[in-house]
Amino acid sequence: MPKIDHRRFKDELYAEFARVAEAVASPKRLEILDLLAQRERNVEDLAREMTLSVANASRHLRILARARIVEMRRAGTFVHYRLASPAVYALLRGIERLAADRLPEVGAVLRRHLAERAMTDLSPSELVRRLRERRAVLVDVRPESEFAAGHIAGARSIPIERLAKRTQGLPRDREIVVYCRGTYCVWADEAVELLRRRGFVAHRLSIGPPDWAALGEKLEAAG
């Protein structure tokens, strides 16, 4: 083995690590990763949801692609983006957990906008048991396209904008467990509030499908 230049080795190595850190050092790029964790999306789709110009969304995606954090797939005239690997999602959630642990401002933002949240931390096995025993109903309030891309087994798809008109189809003798994209997705909070106002026993699952998959559980896809 040749003599190791320790300083040069560390400088080159940490420069590569910093490429990843620099690529995710943007609120908008972190949000893009959160959206891509749900399903593949094209730049127009992302720009529309995030109220960005297509040019701005494209710039953020190029930065993520250069760091190999996202990958591209061409289909006709469209380019679709997805997370490059499960490690990217682990990085995203790690950043969120660290921020929540170390920055009191995270909790302050939650209290300012969401007040008390009706969360439940059911384990996968306990949730599956309650569904099997017909003690609970699982509702996915994300858009249908995200439900189709991957959802927790046994869930019903009722997008949040349709929930108010479809509560009559939900049983009143079971707990309604609601989930959306993940811990900081507020559709589930809105759904629980609506259901409770109408007399249901309702809680939101503290995680979403990407977290479910990260725990080693399989997701179902529609079609």
pLDDT at residue 88 greater than cutoff 90: yes
User: CA-based angle 61:62:66, to the nearest 5?
Assistant: 120
State residue 137 phi and psi, 5-degree precision.
-120, 135
Evaluate whether 182 touches 207 at the Cβ level (below 8 Å): yes
- What would the CATH number be for the domain defined by 6-89? 1.10.10.10
Same fold, 6-89 and 113-220: no
pLDDT at residue 223 greater than cutoff 80: no
The SS3 of residue 137 is strand
The whole-number average pLDDT for the span 21-36 is 98
The one catalytic residue in 57, 70, 180, 202 is 180
Output the pLDDT for position 222.
78
Is residue 27 packed enough to be buried (19+ CB in 10 Å), middle (13-18) or exposed (0-12)?
exposed
Output the pLDDT for position 34.
97
- Binned at pLDDT 50, 70 and 90, residue 157 comes out as very high
pLDDT at residue 84 greater than cutoff 70: yes
**Other beta carbons within 10 Å of 16:** 9
The whole-number average pLDDT for the span 168-186 is 95
Say whether 180 is catalytic. yes
pLDDT, one tens digit per residue, over 47-66 is 999 999 999 999 999 999 99
CATH 3.30.310.10 describes domain 113-220: no
**Amino acid of residue 9:** F
**Mean residue pLDDT across the chain:** 95
| List of long-range contacts for 124-130, beta carbons under 8 Å, 24+ apart | 124/212, 124/215, 124/217, 127/152, 127/177, 127/205, 128/153, 128/154, 130/175, 130/177
Evaluate whether 83 touches 33 at the Cβ level (below 8 Å): yes
Evaluate whether 177 touches 122 at the Cβ level (below 8 Å): yes
The whole-number average pLDDT for the span 179-197 is 95
Query: In the chain, where are the structural domains located?
Result: 6-89, 113-220
The SS3 of residue 63 is helix
